[in-house]
Amino acid sequence: MGKRTLSLPIGEIEVEIIRSSRRTVALYVRPGGTLILRAPWFVPAGVLMKFAAGKAGWIEKQITRLKGISPPGAPVAVSDGSSVPFMGRELTVKVMRGSVRRASHDLERLILTVRDGDGPAELAGMAEAWYLREAKSYLPVRTKELAATHSALLPAPGAVSVRKMRRRWGTCHSGGAIWLNRELMKKDPELIDYVIIHELCHLVHHNHGKEYYTLLGKIIPDFREKRRSLNQH
């Protein structure tokens, strides 16, 4: 992994180069307007930067489109009476006092039991841990369900891991492992499914070429609309 700077008419753009055993070069613009370049180990950095420079027009259009979109992982303010997003609905935070910290939820509330002396930092930490726990409970199971539902088109995944990722909603690794962002639990269930299927399709096609999007479109015909909705605030 390495970082370089690309000079474009709109200014200096940071480029993050991520190398792996892949055989092709791929260029992405992340929400927020930063650039990521995925490449094989053997391609020199100078060649990669020339490749990126040749895509300057496309990069500028993507940066303009995405620069106002926040990447995954934006913090959620937590206090008594505030609202937090959870799987397509808003839960009202209810703060209670007790001897043991505990987080639970029902259809309408996120209930945080805190100890005397706990403040905003403890509330935020409890909410973060709750999101992670819910994600670990839901996302791996849902991934296997979707793979089984579409088994005629998609293989079963290997290990399915959940973590908080700053830049991506999900990622597919060699060997069939899939990582999913804990922040997905803040999104509608249909958007969660879109990300999961997006990554499952990468088990068949490891790039974003025509064949990849043909496969994705067979399963989610309106995937472009889903992608736009996912990256909105």
pLDDT tens string 151-206: 999 999 989 999 888 778 998 887 789 999 999 999 999 999 999 999 999 999 98
pLDDT > 60? residue 74: no
pLDDT tens track for 137-159? 999 999 999 999 999 999 999 89
* Tokens at 71, concatenated: 């990447």
pLDDT band at 13 (very low <50, low <70, confident <90, very high): confident
Instruction: Name the pTM for this structure.
Output: 0.69
Share of the chain above pLDDT 90, in %: 46
pLDDT over 60 at 73, yes or no: no
Tokens at 219, concatenated: 């399963």
Q: Does position 233 have pLDDT exceeding 60, yes or no?
A: no
Three-state DSSP at 203 gives coil
Instruction: Write the burial class of residue 43 (CB in 10 Å: 0-12 exposed, 13-18 middle, 19+ buried).
Output: middle
DSSP H or E segment with residue 28: strand 26-29
Residue ranges per domain, the chain?
Answer: 2-66, 83-132, 138-230
CA nearest neighbour of 188 among 172, 173, 169, 206: 169
Contact indicator for 196, 148 with CB cutoff of 8 Å: no
Output the pLDDT for position 2: 58
Average pLDDT, the chain: 86
Phi-psi region of 73 (alpha: psi -120 to 50; beta: other; left: phi over 0): left
Strands laid side by side in the 102-105 sheet: 83-86, 89-97, 109-114, 102-105
Q: Which helix (H) or strand (E) holds 85?
A: strand 83-86
Q: Which residue has the higher pLDDT, 122 or 231?
A: 122
> Averaged over 51-74, what is the pLDDT?
70
Question: What is the SS3 assignment for 79?
Answer: coil
Q: Confidence band (pLDDT; 50, 70, 90) for 15?
A: confident
Is residue 214 over pLDDT 80? Answer: yes
Token readout for 94 is 């209810």
Q: Name the CATH code of domain 138-230 (choices 3.30.565.10, 3.30.2010.10, 1.10.260.40, 3.40.630.10).
A: 3.30.2010.10
